[in-house]
Structure 1
Amino acid sequence: MNDLNAVLKIGIVNSVKGRKVDVIVDKSKNASHLLHNGDIIKNVSVGGYIKITKGFEELVGKIEGEYISTDKSLDRKEYAHNRDKISRVLNVSLVGYFEKLKFKQGIKELPLIENECYLLTQDEFNRVHHFIKDINGVPDIPIRIGTLASEKGKEISVGVNSLFASHIGVFGNTGSGKSYTLAGLYHKLFEAYQNNSGFKANAKFLIIDFNGEYLNGAEGDNIITDFKNKNLYKLTTREESTKKYPITENEISDVDFWSIFLTATEKTQKPFLKRALSNDFYFSRLNDENDFKYAISVILESLVTKKVDKGDIMQFLNDVANSTKAENIDISDLIDDYQQNLKWHSNQQKYYFEDDEQTLYEDNDDFKEYVITNKLDDSSIQVDEISYLEKIRLRIVFQFYNEIAKFNLNTEHISPLLKRLKNIENLDKVITISSDHSDKFIDIISLADVNTSMKKVLPLLICKQIYDKKKQERNDKKFLNIIIDEAHNILSYSSQRESETWKDYRLETFEEIIKEGRKFGVFLTVASQRPSDISSTIISQLHNYFLHRLINNKDIEAVERTVSYLDQVSFEALSILPTGTCILAGLSAQVPIIIEIDKIEDGYEPYNKTIKPTDYWGN
């Protein structure tokens, strides 16, 4: 052995238990650092790496712990000092091996007892932390994300394809730097590619922002990337959003969506919805004022001649009037007229209409013209102002009362569904029906001012639409990344604020994206402070993890249970990581490492700084 290798030799293998190896350290190698070939090398310590030589094979292990072993078999008189009986033993977990000057992750073979163990040289250390892989013989394109926490000068870069063509999880408690890391990763990517025509044409990013951290609403908003690159949607259910998110007619007409949105029962209400959404007789008459009035007259005539209870007749008129904004359908005079003058003759068992001019019975030939047609003609209906969603609401209303008149529908089963149609008003405030999308490469959707029920619905509706569109395109050149911050709001499997059917529907949708999306160029990035709330199926399917400080035991257990890439040292560091520092583990990194994320330039960082009360408590 030459002198240089003698400096690096730290001991020998003492036991092998699968990929777990014990190494006895030479008593002369207990200093904190060693000088080798002009480089200062950190000596063996927990979290460091060693090399085990087995013939011509060089295996690499990570030190996960150490302990003291005392040799009691030797006679005490043989030692000048009691400390000579003590041996330092390292617990090492095998992580990879060197082959042709490259580090490769995995176990090629196991060491033997008394194989020699060495510290890594600076070059070998760099090779372990070189994460840029070859893809089909071509090196991936590196992008710097931070520095190694234990070696301040060591830059950490990952491959663009290895990281961004994958599902990513960013987890950490509030204040740990989770959102900052998310913004920093994509800021670096956009900074590198935003001026490339191929990137603009083939890459699309969608950020679902529950807390308004990536959109400040100001002109020139440069959070994450320059204002010119973004479509900003600051949605609100308090009033009409100034810019609504576009949804296609095909997606908004989906029966499954409406069944879930309106909490329709499987056996009665969902089949009714399917009939309503597939019946174009009334829907086709909602675009012209005269046709609209004709549709109302058809229902009215059926209700009256079929001897339906007057309460249902009045409820029909009220439901029509309440399906849109008051100024769009003004039939208030008609409703008052019917309430006062439409009467039931109990002896003759039929309706009659009695006002100051005349009395007409419903079997009179003039009844329809005078009581229905002429009075509707005096009403005001502004069809051009009625939105597409309001027309869907009217479509369901017309179908309901049509079935009451023609088929004696059991209202007890369906009427609760009509009461829930009011929820469409909130949906109408935040979406518009359109197939036109801007050619900007990133959409940022803020849900900070959206009510709780819409926060459940909108991400599902939007993500399902763009995912279905991507599946239909089957364009290998197109890339889509869906980014969801505070993902526990939509990916929770333990929510008690919704039905099991709704919960299953949204989880199955996102689980399909994460399991099948790669085939269609669709990737999911989720960030959350509560990984224990997120579906374990989703967490286990992620390819790369950025793990910030986690304190809650359930969150730590969720990470330990699902993140197979994490070693014991990294796992135990989760609860004590400083702000801005995280563990990178996954396919883009050959070994789990603790890194400090690079700072983002001023103006591009997320809008989530912690308020300091003392800044405002002065004189």
Structure 2
Amino acid sequence: MNMKMKNDIEDKAKRESIFIIGRVLSVEKRLVTIKVNKNKNSSHIIYDGTTVKNVSVGSYVKIAKGFVNIIGKVEGERISEERYFNRDYNKEETRINRVLDVSLFGHFDGTKFKQGIKEMPLIDNECFLLDRDEFAALHNFAGCDKRTIEIGGLTEEPAQRIRLGVNDLFASHIGIFGNTGSGKSNTLAKIYTELFSLYKGNENFKNNSRFIIIDFNGEYSGKKAITTEKEIYKLSTGKGGSERKYPITTDNLNKTETLAVLLEATEKTQKPFLDWVIKGDYLDDPTTFIQRVRERIEDICRTVLLDKKGNGLREGTIAELFSRILDIVDIASNNNISNLRDDIEINLHYHSQSNEYYWNRPVTSNFNNTNPIYDTYIAPIVDNAVFKTDHFSGLKLKIILGYFYAITRGFYNQEHIGPLMGRMIKKFKMLDKLVDIQDNAEWQKNLVILSLRDVNTEMKKIIPLLVCKQLYDEKKEVNGMTSLHIIIDEAHNILSTASQRESDTWKDYRLETFEEIIKEGRKFGVFLTVASQRPYDISHTIISQLHNYFIHRLINDNDIGAVEKAVAYLDRLSFQTIPILSVGSCFIAGLASDIPVKVDIELLPKEQQPQSDTVKLEEEWG
């Protein structure tokens, strides 16, 4: 035996004598109890001139079974009493033993850690602390040949940096959960800041990936947040509207489901009416649009004037028609139609004895049967009106004329579909402040921030749905090597199952859309990241389909329970410590990490941090 081999054997024997902590006492399924040696009850041991943290709750241990090294985590420790006969004193005494409860989860294949148990340990197998190399190998999740991002260090061992594989993390659905002030916004910003930093200047990354952050509170609109290479849409339903509107396609808005949700249409009457209007192609040809609008207005007016009140129509129907189209004509036409409406309200009457409409004039009244009222008083205004031809105006006009055509022809009851009109005017007015109708809009950058900070509550639910549905449908049509990453901060605002302020139809459509994305999106290269302080409120289907979890401090039992049901990777001890995690600390569990780990997420520089800090009252108050 040469000197080197002899020294290696001596070093190994020395190391094992120092790192051995005890022996297996019992084995039951994945749970093992270990009896700790008496000389290993101190908090630290000394090896090679350095201190090594001794075994404790949360530590990892290695169980040697022949040539197989099995890895487990200490979930608890206790004492056990052992009765034995003391021959020196010739009596029975009690010995106190320190016992560890260990859960097995993996093994070493050579120097590489692998999840899963190949063999169960035997009673009396020796148990060891992990040395520095083994500890590092245990936390080397991506290997040396993969691209990784660094997100922080282990809470118990800050020197052990944690790196996650780019593909393992970002080709997955991600959940980031934690109470307000727990650090979840910094975590979301950190992982995407590291990603964009890693691929800075990479043209393939820019061309083959798209990221959109649905930012409910305007936290990621800072110049250097995530990256400087981004497009920002600061939407607003305020008086001035948005400086820059988000582009929505014609097809996306011209869907019965979309309009039914937007206008809160009832399932049995209003939604079928919308479907009938949208499928009608009467006004779809731009070359005949103006002509057909005028023809439809004439048809509606003449139907009322010739009705003789047999269908219960009133002269107010015509006045209401012109009130509805006031904002769909230019300024000059608006004044003319406004005056026409006023004239109709004042001068158009019904003569019950002759069953005729007449136009009241200073000298003599003009009856419809002798001198048609439409030709004399209405047609000159309508035929010279200039109608707006943008998509919003065209869609509104299509619905308005469809409504009046339907009720004058008796297709629908006015009481059933009438409420839809009031909602349409209100909703379209708000929507017009937020989106532009563009069919060929191109992304200038591969990151878009959609800030909804100044958007009212009503539209905060609708806009993310419209945008995400459009992006998902487009991605399905061009399925290829590109990826789409939808990132939703404060996701309970849009993914909640508990909202009481919306119809069941709207809630079902909203949840079905995002549940489809999370269940089927991976096939098309669509990945979802959700961050929320209330995981309990989010659809269980969505929570359970996530691949990687970042779990910050959660206090509410319902929230902890929701995560516990969904996350199979986390052990009982980790769940019990979730309510006492410090700010910035979180458990990472999922496909990107071979084992669940508690990590202190590195705080970003001030200029890159999301704008989510708690106000410092002492500084504000002086």
When the two structures are superposed, what TM-score results if normalisation uses the length of structure 2? Answer: 0.92
Superposition deviation, residue 347 in structure 1: 1.4
Aligned to 1:277: 278
Cα deviation 1:82-103 (Å, max 9, x = unaligned):
8x71000001000100012110
* Larger displacement relative to structure 2 (284-293 or 585-594): 284-293
Aligned to 2:215: 209
After superposition, residues 109-258 of structure 1 pair within 5 angstroms as: 109-133=119-143, 139-216=145-222, 221-226=223-228, 229-239=229-239, 240-258=241-259
CA–CA distance in structure 2, aligned partners of residues 78 and 261 of structure 1:
88
CA–CA distance in structure 2, aligned partners of residues 484 and 191 of structure 1:
21
Secondary structure of 2:172's match?
Answer: coil
CA gap of 1:296–1:425, structure 2 versus 1, over 3 A, is same
Aligned to 1:429: 433
After superposition, residues 505-516 of structure 1 pair within 5 angstroms as: 505-516=509-520
CA gap of 1:328–1:368, structure 2 versus 1, over 3 A, is closer
Q: Tell whether the 8 Å contact from 1:171 to 1:546 is kept in structure 2 after alignment.
A: yes
Aligned to 1:297: 298
Q: Does the alignment pair 1:390 with 2:401?
A: no
After superposition, residues 149-548 of structure 1 pair within 5 angstroms as: 149-216=155-222, 221-226=223-228, 229-239=229-239, 240-282=241-283, 284=285, 292-307=293-308, 308-321=313-326, 329-330=334-335, 331-356=337-362, 359-364=365-370, 366-377=372-383, 380-383=385-388, 387-407=390-410, 409-421=412-424, 422-435=426-439, 436-475=441-480, 477-548=481-552
Q: Tell whether the 8 Å contact from 1:66 to 1:91 is kept in structure 2 after alignment.
A: yes
CA–CA distance in structure 2, aligned partners of residues 42 and 549 of structure 1:
26
Secondary structure of 2:40's match?
Answer: coil
Secondary structure of 1:594's match?
Answer: strand
Choose the corresponding residue for 1:11, options 19, 22, 39. 22
The amino acid that maps onto 1:416 is: P
Q: Tell whether the 8 Å contact from 1:283 to 1:395 is kept in structure 2 after alignment.
A: no
* Larger displacement relative to structure 2 (193-202 or 263-272): 263-272
Aligned to 1:609: 613
Aligned to 2:44: 33
Q: Does the alignment pair 1:587 with 2:598?
A: no
Aligned to 1:101: 111
Cα deviation 1:20-66 (Å, max 9, x = unaligned):
11111111111222233455321110110001112221110000100
CA gap of 1:326–1:556, structure 2 versus 1, over 3 A, is farther
The amino acid that maps onto 1:8 is: F
CA–CA distance in structure 2, aligned partners of residues 40 and 349 of structure 1:
105
CA gap of 1:337–1:568, structure 2 versus 1, over 3 A, is same
CA–CA distance in structure 1, aligned partners of residues 249 and 486 of structure 2:
18
CA gap of 1:121–1:265, structure 2 versus 1, over 3 A, is same
Aligned to 2:5: none
Secondary structure of 1:58's match?
Answer: strand
Superposition deviation, residue 215 in structure 1: 1.1
Superposition deviation, residue 288 in structure 1: 6.0
CA–CA distance in structure 2, aligned partners of residues 29 and 397 of structure 1:
83
Aligned to 1:63: 74
Q: Tell whether the 8 Å contact from 1:286 to 1:391 is kept in structure 2 after alignment.
A: no
Superposition deviation, residue 181 in structure 1: 0.8
Q: Tell whether the 8 Å contact from 2:84 to 2:95 is kept in structure 1 after alignment.
A: no
The amino acid that maps onto 1:65 is: G
Q: Can you give the 5+ residue segments of structure 2 that lack an aligned partner in the other structure?
A: 1-11
CA gap of 1:46–1:176, structure 2 versus 1, over 3 A, is same
The amino acid that maps onto 2:601 is: I
CA gap of 1:237–1:79, structure 2 versus 1, over 3 A, is farther
Q: Tell whether the 8 Å contact from 1:302 to 1:402 is kept in structure 2 after alignment.
A: no
Q: Tell whether the 8 Å contact from 1:13 to 1:114 is kept in structure 2 after alignment.
A: yes
Q: Tell whether the 8 Å contact from 1:246 to 1:437 is kept in structure 2 after alignment.
A: no
CA–CA distance in structure 1, aligned partners of residues 554 and 88 of structure 2:
51
CA–CA distance in structure 2, aligned partners of residues 173 and 114 of structure 1:
45
CA gap of 1:79–1:516, structure 2 versus 1, over 3 A, is farther
Q: Can you give the 5+ residue segments of structure 1 that lack an aligned partner in the other structure?
A: none
Secondary structure of 2:38's match?
Answer: coil
CA–CA distance in structure 2, aligned partners of residues 326 and 517 of structure 1:
47
CA–CA distance in structure 1, aligned partners of residues 256 and 363 of structure 2:
47
Q: Tell whether the 8 Å contact from 1:549 to 1:575 is kept in structure 2 after alignment.
A: yes
CA gap of 1:482–1:111, structure 2 versus 1, over 3 A, is same
Secondary structure of 2:141's match?
Answer: coil
Aligned to 2:4: none
CA–CA distance in structure 2, aligned partners of residues 452 and 10 of structure 1:
59
CA gap of 1:390–1:375, structure 2 versus 1, over 3 A, is closer
Secondary structure of 2:561's match?
Answer: helix
CA–CA distance in structure 1, aligned partners of residues 181 and 288 of structure 2:
52
Superposition deviation, residue 589 in structure 1: 0.6
The amino acid that maps onto 2:447 is: I
Secondary structure of 1:109's match?
Answer: coil
Superposition deviation, residue 354 in structure 1: 2.9
* Larger displacement relative to structure 2 (182-191 or 594-603): 594-603
Q: Tell whether the 8 Å contact from 1:345 to 1:352 is kept in structure 2 after alignment.
A: yes
Secondary structure of 1:188's match?
Answer: helix
Q: Tell whether the 8 Å contact from 1:79 to 1:85 is kept in structure 2 after alignment.
A: no
When the two structures are superposed, what TM-score results if normalisation uses the length of structure 1? Answer: 0.93
Secondary structure of 2:282's match?
Answer: helix
Secondary structure of 2:429's match?
Answer: helix
CA–CA distance in structure 1, aligned partners of residues 196 and 371 of structure 2:
72
Cα deviation 1:105-151 (Å, max 9, x = unaligned):
122222121111111111111111001158xxxx3212111111111
CA gap of 1:80–1:186, structure 2 versus 1, over 3 A, is farther
How many residues align? The count is 603
Aligned to 1:42: 53
